[in-house]
Amino acid sequence: MRAEWYKDRVFYQIWPRSFCDGNGDGIGDLYGVYGKLDYLKSLGVGGIWFSPLYPSPNADYGYDISDYCAIHPDYGDLEIFKKVVERAHELDIKIVMDLVVNHTSDEHEWFQKSRDKDSPYRGYYFWKKGKKPGRPPNNWDSFFENEAWSYDERSGEYYLHLFHRKQVDLNMDNPAVRGEIKRILRFWLDLGVDGFREDVITLISKPEGLPDDRFGVGVKGMRLYESGPHIHEYLQEFRTEVLDGYDCFVVGEAPLMTTKKALGYLEGEHPDLDMMFSFQHMEADCFFTEYMPLPFDLRKLKRAFTKWQDALEWNALYLENHDHPRVISRYGSEKYHDESGKMLAACYLLLKGTPFVYQGQEIGMTNIALPSIEDYKDCMALKHYYNDVRRKSPDKVLPKIQKATRDNSRTPVQWSAEAHAGFSSAEPWFAVNGNYRSINVAAQEKDPGSLLNFYRALIAFRSGSRTVRFGDYRELCPGHPHLYVYTRSFEGETLLVLCSFTEKPCRFSLPDGPAWGAPELLFANYPCKSGETAFTTRPYETRVYRVRADR
């Protein structure tokens, strides 16, 4: 029997470097996490997903792992990790680790050994000769570099990296590599962790012979290895040989996924994955990634939500993580910070699925604009910047980076109005957003009407509601350009969620007729007149009603 408990919990994502510094060195760590577990409990959180905690040279801040079975010294050691797990479990909080096995760091000993042509580790990676001298083995693009291949002088061959040159792709076709992964899974499960978030897991199976991509659209190569030839086989192997023996779950990250393909991973007696992080709803203000910005289009967002709600029995729900700018700055409004933050919370926390809240989202942390490219750390932003400044002036390129970079969500969590936002007693490793004096946890703790307390109330409501857990989803007025309205219905109870994505006034009438009964207002981000059934929305207004309860 697979675990089902993940369906009754709200998860909280910790990107450890910026969550809370417990040992005063300016870097977030597990000592800081330990001290905040009661806070997370008070938020109603039932699980933590840790972005990578492992040793890493940090070319991609932890997503380039140099040792899978240890803790990065910046974050502590296995002792404090075990304490965190133990205390979290006492609080009934599950722990989910990030499993990053599409690639390892180039500083991992497997890769270092593989540079020797006679090493048994050679076959752990994709080593190849160039097509011609000076030309890489194929024409694939990299997400973080211009080409997916780098030449290694010592080996005299190229190695494949879909991401940064310091993130080298593992050859999953090699049974020894899969053996290592099963060993890593067991290592963490035996330490008591409850699941994994699997990084770009749908990209791990590469096509035989690594052919050129002849179509040349989008990221070249991706259509050949996205849901590649052996993906289901490999995921089944991990599941059958390891995961099935533990009470755990797995959520896979799946860029460029369609609902149709997603079902192939999630359906059936013995699915590959329990849930999937899809991306379409994160593209309502851009094309493919935030670097190709477009004006925000609510209809795109609604189409994505509805498509995934309709197609899948269970979704992983999120609006923020460490890879996207802050959502208030994208889909909401910094001017209507509190209102739009609450509206965004209601818009996704009541959908069908398991919600993930990203650190700082619960207080409405916003984007940051740093004055110079030298201030940025995100390798993806740096790639775009240095490519673009070849053709455009830096004054034109920097604003785009400021808006789009992943660094927006990686600034230290704003715990209080004290020095360094209460994140650390020392100078933090990365810039603190200057708005910490007004946007911080301590201030919102004191205010019963704060965004933080709105998250608390919604999470508590969700946890006690069978309608939110099991109810059918239906979207109302799908063509409306500014309002997102949906209902969730279960056993005679219907909840109606209304969200305005504009500061403009919009008329809205609750559905009427004998089937609907008297509406009961459950949540709102403005004072509302009682008994009101038709009204004009205020900027970024949200209301949640119980509109029918026959029980």
First to last CA, the chain: 32
Is 352 within 8 Å of 471 (Cβ atoms)?
A: yes
Is 442 within 8 Å of 417 (Cβ atoms)?
A: yes
Distance from CA of residue 250 to its chain's centroid?
14
Judged by the rule CB under 6 A, the positions of this chain that interact with ligand NOJ are 60, 63, 100, 163, 199-200, 253, 322-323
Q: How far is the CB of 164 from ligand NOJ (least distance, A)?
A: 8
Q: How far is the CB of 383 from ligand NOJ (least distance, A)?
A: 12
CB atoms within 10 A of CB 233: 12
Residue whose Cβ sits closest to ligand NOJ? 63
CB atoms within 10 A of CB 389: 14
Which residues are part of the catalytic machinery? 199, 253
Q: Residue 202 gets which letter from DSSP? A: G
Nearer to ligand NOJ, 15 or 454 (CB): 15
Q: How far is the CB of 146 from ligand NOJ (least distance, A)?
A: 16
| CA 513/CA 182 separation, integer angstroms | 57
CB atoms within 10 A of CB 465: 18
Exposure on the CB side of residue 282, measured as CA atoms within 13 A: 23
Q: How far is the CB of 128 from ligand NOJ (least distance, A)?
A: 21
Q: How far is the CB of 339 from ligand NOJ (least distance, A)?
A: 30
Nearer to ligand NOJ, 61 or 188 (CB): 61
DSSP string, 364-424: T------SSGGG---HHHHHHHHHHTTTS-HHHHHHHHHHH-GGGG-SPP---SSGGGGS-
